């Protein structure tokens, strides 16, 4: 999610080598690399969100005069500064800060990368945006806002022969190597090794933790581990397809229909804990320990954050006030067909509590965190994901006697309600996270 510091930092780490694909103003036109690496730029298309100001945020003017430069520095300060109080780092602050910083986040890519724009716009201009660095640095705070004294180990200190016998050191090494994960992609479309060889070679010590470079110009790449080239390579191709698939079913246009919302929910339900939408859900947030999976399913955030956050009515005078408001928005009179406006209104009331509709046996359900009473207020939201018909037939009834096109279609539709269980790309599969839940649908493998 690009509404949190952690989300922005993760996105920037994955995308910084390809920001040159998405230059957004005339100053950076000569730096654009889309013509040189079209396949790579297409593969990294989701990264464009990092350098495009979020909707509704203010665009900073071009720094052409002294007065404008002063105004720019003030805009950045007003949007991004939070002093030494981390409690001020709200989604609203992060979004506003991202808005004024988006077009100059290239100032904070590693200086030796082609995507760094320091040479293009100059150190003086980048300095105007210095507070923006807190969006993409690991500490999540600007150096002049909060000093953090922390011992940092280099990759050469962590990735040593001892990793073979020291599990903690092994995982610490791999975590460090993930910062330049594109260097080790086996699919050349996703690999940045040929693009940024010197930068990648700084992390050659990662080889001890099974990270290997895919050098498109190397004559001995056939000698690489079959898992590094064959299996992972084929997975990377399907990985792109899965990104595109999630982006499609969770697009704004698709979320204007009941069928589209149900499709998006089926894809995303196991990962809604990646996107807490208010303070009540923060204790349920799983992004910190499911970072890879949350990144893979990042486009699912649209399911829970398409509309302006709805503010429920107070329950002080009437404890059923929220339930009544949700029912009014989401219960249709008999025979009335849902309009796009009706779907949008119901979705807005429900989106921050879509996690209540998730099977309570899995981690992404927020019933345990919010309580059954809170989730019951939003029970009418079930209409968005198929209503009562969703559980009307068991998986055994749907799939045990498939003998024609009609019965196959019904079985397939039922199986798709737990689609992540059957994905064969690790970060898109929820099987290792929710094995018991997935095993309930093992008949789908047939």
**Per-residue model confidence (pLDDT) at position 116:** 92
pLDDT computed for residue 59 by the predictor: 53
Distance (Å, whole) CA 307 – CA 238: 31
Phi and psi at residue 38, in whole multiples of 5°? -60, -40
pLDDT at 220: 40
Tokens of 111: 């200086």
What pLDDT score does 268 carry? 93
Name residues whose C-beta falls within 8 Å of residue 46's C-beta, 6 or more positions apart in sequence: 243, 247, 298, 299
Q: What is the pLDDT of residue 227?
A: 33
Residues of the chain short of pLDDT 50, as ranges, are 61-62, 64-65, 139-151, 216-237
Please give the pLDDT value at position 56.
62
Structure tokens at 25: 């103003």
DSSP letters spanning 368-431: HHH-HHHHHTTGGGGGGGTGGGGGSS-HHHHHTT--SHHHHHHHHHHHGGGGGGG--SGGG--T
> CB neighbours (10 Å) of residue 265?
23
């Amino acid at each position: 999610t690009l509404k949190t510091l952690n989300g922005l930092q993760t996105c920037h780490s994955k995308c910084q080598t390809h920001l040159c694909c998405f230059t957004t103003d005339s100053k950076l036109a000569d730096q654009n690399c889309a013509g040189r690496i079209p396949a790579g730029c297409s593969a990294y298309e989701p990264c464009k969100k990092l350098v495009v100001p979020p909707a509704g945020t203010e665009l900073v003017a071009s720094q052409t005069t002294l007065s404008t430069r002063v105004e720019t520095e003030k805009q950045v300060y007003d949007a991004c500064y939070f002093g030494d109080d981390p409690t001020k780092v709200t989604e609203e602050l992060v979004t506003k800060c991202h808005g004024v910083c988006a077009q100059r986040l290239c100032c904070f890519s590693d200086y030796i990368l082609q995507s760094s724009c320091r040479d293009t716009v100059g150190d003086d201009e980048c300095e105007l945006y210095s507070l923006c660095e807190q969006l993409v640095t690991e500490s999540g705070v600007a150096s002049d806002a909060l000093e953090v004294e922390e011992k940092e180990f280099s990759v050469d200190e962590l990735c040593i022969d001892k990793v073979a016998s020291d599990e903690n050191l092994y995982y610490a090494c791999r975590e460090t190597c993930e910062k330049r994960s594109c260097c080790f992609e086996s699919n050349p479309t996703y690999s940045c090794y040929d693009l940024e060889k010197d930068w990648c070679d700084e992390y050659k010590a990662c080889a001890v933790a099974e990270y290997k470079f895919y050098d498109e110009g190397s004559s001995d790449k056939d000698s690489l581990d079959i898992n590094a080239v064959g299996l992972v390579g084929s997975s990377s191709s399907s990985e792109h397809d899965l990104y595109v698939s999630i982006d499609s079913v969770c697009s704004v246009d698709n979320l204007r229909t009941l069928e589209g919302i149900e499709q998006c929910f089926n894809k995303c339900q196991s990962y809604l804990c990646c996107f807490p939408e208010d303070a009540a859900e923060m204790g349920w947030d799983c992004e910190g320990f499911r970072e890879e999976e949350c990144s893979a399913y990042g486009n699912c955030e649209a399911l829970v954050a398409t509309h302006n956050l709805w503010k429920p009515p107070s329950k002080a005078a009437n404890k059923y006030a929220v339930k009544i408001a949700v029912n009014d928005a989401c219960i249709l009179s008999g025979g009335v067909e849902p309009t796009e406006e009706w779907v949008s209104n119901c979705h807005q009331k429900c989106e921050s509590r879509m996690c209540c509709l998730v099977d309570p046996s899995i981690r992404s359900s927020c019933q345990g965190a919010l309580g059954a009473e809170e989730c019951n207020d939003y029970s009418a939201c079930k209409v968005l994901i198929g209503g009562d018909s969703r559980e009307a037939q068991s998986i055994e009834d749907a799939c045990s006697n498939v003998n024609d096109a009609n019965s196959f279609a019904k079985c397939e539709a039922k199986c798709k309600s737990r689609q992540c269980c059957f994905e064969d790309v690790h970060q898109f599969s929820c099987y290792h996270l929710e094995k018991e839940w997935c095993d309930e649908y093992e008949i789908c493998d047939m």
